[in-house]
Amino acid sequence: GLQTLLRNSHQVFRVVNGRVHIRDWREETLWETKQPEAKQRVLSKACKTRLCWFFTHHPDGCALSADCCPFAHGPAELRPPRTTPRKKIP
């Protein structure tokens, strides 16, 4: 339902105290500094693996420069997604 849509669209929306807001990446603190080191490595490998929704769909484009945005500003910036092998459950 709606919760799944919001969760899958975290690039565009954020939920705070049960209220939905359009995400403004200019207000986000440096996303890497808030994360534990192990999660930083995973996030840095995920960086630029998807197109920036704002760059692609918003009439004014993305508020962040391509260097500051964790998402790709155009197909030329896209990196192949890194898949990690899943552990087999016996």
Give this prediction's pTM. Answer: 0.54
For the chain of 90 residues, list the mean pLDDT of each consecutive stretch of 10.
Answer: 80 85 74 51 67 90 88 92 68
| Maximum CA extent, the chain | 51
Gap between the Cα atoms of 35 and 41, Å rounded = 10
Gap between the Cα atoms of 71 and 48, Å rounded = 4
For residue 39, the model assigns a pLDDT of 45
Going from N- to C-terminal start, the domains of the chain cover 2-77
DSSP 2-44: HHHHHHHTTTTEEEETTEEEE--TTTS--TTTTS-HHHHHHHH
Q: Determine the 3-state secondary structure of 23 from DSSP.
A: coil
